């Protein structure tokens, strides 16, 4: 049984179709990346799978439960990290997770242990009694991941989990996320518009304008758009070009100090290439197409790499101030 099964799922707002008949399956214990630019329909899809939004048509099941007919069952089986923070900043890290455990029906005698385990998992156990408002953005995100797994869900949903985080926090958050399938058997469904993050997913669906335009493993998708490039540095370019053309019928191009040779089959070509040019070779490297190239190839545009700017943080603190001020 797949952890998530979606067929012809559609969400329409009046005349605008946010999600247009998408279908995919996510096998249990894998990481699934839902990839696309902002506004492509990623969050809408996640909201429907989490039963926060009713689909216009189509079907979706999570952990074997129907998202429309059995929303409570679905909710019990999943953990979610939303794009925006949903922690209570006035409560401590421990309290945030403990209340979550109660809400998700964790048995009383297991609550504290599971909360502690989750806090240790993301390395925040030492700060469990501090109010969340003292945490950095990266720590809050880690805490949210911890909270989402407290009740030991079968499936974890992450909506742009690393948005607005610095590279270091991103890396450490990734470490926790990628450990989940192997250590806990959790299936991970995540959306992102960072192509490098999608590389670690087992499977990917690329969505644009509400439609899935490609599906597969990262390697499959990249193979789909064609060739790898082998870059080779040689002592004698003229001679090397001649040999490669005549004997291998490949078409090397001069690129600065190197020759670049488009090949199909990647590194399997390297031994023959070296045999052909013999002692002329100085160094060899291979460059594969990235998911960015895949996206570019499919849509004719580069995916936007946009960072959340600091104005959101400023807005937050103004709100916090006004909230306190207004209450007096």
85 binds other proteins per the rule CB under 8 A: yes
Residue 65 sits in the site that holds other proteins (CB under 8 A): no
Nearest to 222 by CA among 294, 285, 299: 294
327 touches other proteins by CB under 8 A: yes
Q: Which helix (H) or strand (E) holds 34?
A: strand 31-35
Asked whether 124 and 143 are in contact (CB, 8 A), the reply is yes
The two structure tokens encoding residue 178: 């990628």
What Rg, from alpha-carbon coordinates, does the chain have? 24
Label residues 60-75 b or e (16+ Cβ within 10 Å = b): bbbbebebeebbebbb
Residue 261 lies near other proteins (rule: CB under 8 A): no
- Whether the CB-CB separation of 177 and 261 falls below 8 Å is answered with no
Q: Does 326 bind other proteins (CB under 8 A)?
A: yes
Q: Is 82 in the site for other proteins (CB under 8 A)?
A: yes
Least CB distance to other proteins at residue 57 (A): 21
- Residues 202-231 interacting with other proteins (rule: CB under 8 A): none
Nearest distance from C-beta of residue 83 to other proteins, angstroms: 10
Q: Does 141 bind other proteins (CB under 8 A)?
A: no
In the bound complex, what is the minimum distance in angstroms from residue 219's beta carbon to other proteins? 34
Copy the structure tokens of residue 217. 């493993």
What three-state secondary structure class fits 82? Answer: coil
Selected range binding other proteins among 9-17, 48-56, 239-247, 289-297, rule: CB under 8 A: 48-56
Q: Which member of 80, 139, 163, 165 binds other proteins (CB under 8 A)?
A: 80
Cβ atoms of 304 and 270 within 8 Å: the answer is: no
Stretch of 16-24, 44-52, 161-169, 230-238 contacting other proteins, by CB under 8 A? 44-52
Tell me the β-bridge partners of 284.
Answer: 232
Q: Does 109 bind other proteins (CB under 8 A)?
A: no
Strand order of the β-sheet with 31-35 is 78-81, 155-159, 187-192, 31-35, 203-208, 211-216
**Is position 70 an interface residue for other proteins (rule: CB under 8 A)?**
no
Name the one range near other proteins by CB under 8 A: 25-33, 72-80, 217-225, 302-310: 72-80
Q: Could you say whether residue 166 binds other proteins (CB under 8 A)?
A: no
Is 23 in contact with 181 (CB distance < 8 Å)? no
What 8-state DSSP symbol labels residue 131? B
Stretch that binds other proteins, among 31-39, 96-104, 162-170, 213-221 (CB under 8 A): 96-104
Question: Which residue in the set 45, 51, 169, 203 belongs to the binding site for other proteins (CB under 8 A)?
Answer: 51
Do residues 191 and 160 lie in contact, with contact meaning Cβ atoms separated by under 8 Å? yes
Question: Among 26, 40, 58, 100, which residue interacts with other proteins (rule: CB under 8 A)?
Answer: 100
The answer to whether 319 contacts other proteins (rule: CB under 8 A) is yes
CB atoms < 10 A from the CB of 85, how many?
16
Q: In what side-by-side order are the strands of the sheet with 281-287? A: 253-255, 258-263, 228-234, 281-287
312 binds other proteins (CB under 8 A): no
| 89 near other proteins, judged by CB under 8 A | yes
Count of residues near other proteins by CB under 8 A: 30
Contact footprint for other proteins (CB under 8 A): 50-52, 72, 75-76, 80, 82, 84-91, 95, 99-100, 102-105, 319, 322-324, 326-328
């Amino acid at each position: 049984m797949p952890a998530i099964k979606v067929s012809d799922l559609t969400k329409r707002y009046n005349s605008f179709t946010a999600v247009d008949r998408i279908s995919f399956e996510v096998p249990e214990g894998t990481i699934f990346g839902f990839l696309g630019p902002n506004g492509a329909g990623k969050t809408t899809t996640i909201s429907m799978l989490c039963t926060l939004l009713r689909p216009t048509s189509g079907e979706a099941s999570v952990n074997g439960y129907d998202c429309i007919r059995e929303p409570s069952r679905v909710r019990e089986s999943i953990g979610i990290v939303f794009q925006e923070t949903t922690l209570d900043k006035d409560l401590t890290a421990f309290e945030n997770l403990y209340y979550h455990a109660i809400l998700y029906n964790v048995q009383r005698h297991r609550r504290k242990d599971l909360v502690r385990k989750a806090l240790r998992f993301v390395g925040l156990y030492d700060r469990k009694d501090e109010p969340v408002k003292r945490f950095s953005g990266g720590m809050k995100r880690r805490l949210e991941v911890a909270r989402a797994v407290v009740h030991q869900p079968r499936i974890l949903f992450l909506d742009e989990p690393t948005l607005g985080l610095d590279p270091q926090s991103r890396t450490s958050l990734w470490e926790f996320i990628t450990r989940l399938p192997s250590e806990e058997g959790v299936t991970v469904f995540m959306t992102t518009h960072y192509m490098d993050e999608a590389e670690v997913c087992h499977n990917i669906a690329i969505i644009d304008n509400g439609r899935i335009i490609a599906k597969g493993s990262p390697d499959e998708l990249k193979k789909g758009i064609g060739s790898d490039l082998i870059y080779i540095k040689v002592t004698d370019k003229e001679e090397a070009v001649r040999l490669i053309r005549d004997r291998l019928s490949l078409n090397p191009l001069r690129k600065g100090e190197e020759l670049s040779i488009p090949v199909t089959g990647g590194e399997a070509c390297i031994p023959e290439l070296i045999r052909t040019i013999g002692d002329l070779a100085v160094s060899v490297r291979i460059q594969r197409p990235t998911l960015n190239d895949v996206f570019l190839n499919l849509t004719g545009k580069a995916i936007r790499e946009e960072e959340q700017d600091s104005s959101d943080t400023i807005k937050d603190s103004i709100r916090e101030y006004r909230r306190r001020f207004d209450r007096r």
